[in-house]
Structure 1
Amino acid sequence: MPTHRQWPITDDLAALREHIQRYAAEAGLTGTRLDDLVIAANEAAINVLEHGGGVGTLAIWRDDASVAVEVVDNAGLLSPADVPRDQPPGRGNRGYGLWLINRLCDAVSVDQSPGRSRIRLSIRLAAPARTNV
Structure 2
Amino acid sequence: MTTSRRSSSALPAPARPCTSLPDPPANCPPFHFDNSQQITALRQFTARRALAAALPAHRIDSLLVCVDEAAANAVRHGGGKGSCRIWTSTGAILCDITSPQGTLNTALAGYLPPAASLMDGRGLWIIRQLSDAADIRSTRHGTIIRIRIDPHPPRPSHL
**Fold conserved (TM > 0.5)?**
yes
Matched, 1:8 2:23: no
2:20 corresponds in structure 1 to none
Q: Tell me, yes or no, if the aligned pair for 1:44 and 1:71 is still in contact at 8 Å.
A: yes
Structure 2 match to 1:122: 148
Q: Which residue of 2 aligns with 1:85?
A: 111
Say if 2:140 is the partner of 1:109. no
Select between 35-44 and 110-119 the one with higher mean Cα deviation.
Answer: 110-119
Task: Show the 5 A alignment for 1:38-117.
Answer: 38-79=64-105, 81=107, 83-117=109-143
Using structure 2 for the length normalisation, give the TM-score: 0.75
- What is the rounded CA distance, in whole Å, between the counterparts of 1:19 and 1:89 in structure 2? 33
Q: When you count helix as a share of all residues, which structure comes out higher? A: 1
Residue 111 of structure 2 aligns to a residue in which SS? coil
CA distance in 2, matches of 1:75, 1:32: 32
Alignment check: 8 A CA contact 1:67 1:123 kept: yes
For structure 1, list consecutive stretches of 5 or more residues without a partner in the other structure.
none
Report the CA distance between 1:79 and its aligned residue. 4.5
- Residues of 1 paired with 2:121 and 2:103: CA distance? 15
Q: RMSD of the TM alignment (CA)?
A: 1.8
Identify the residue that residue 32 of structure 1 maps to in structure 2.
Answer: 58
Rounded to whole Å, the distance in 1 between the matches of 2:62 and 2:105 is 22
- Quick check: which one's strand share is greater? 1
Amino acid at match of 1:5: P
Runs of 4+, deviation exceeding 6 Å: none
1:80 is displaced (CA, Å) by 5.2
- What is the deviation of 1:93? 4.0
Q: How many residues align?
A: 131
* 8 Å contact from structure 1 (residues 61, 68) kept in 2: yes
Compared CA separation, residues 80 and 69, structure 1 to 2 (3 A): farther
Q: In structure 2, how many angstroms separate the alpha carbons of the residues matched to 1:108 and 1:17? A: 18
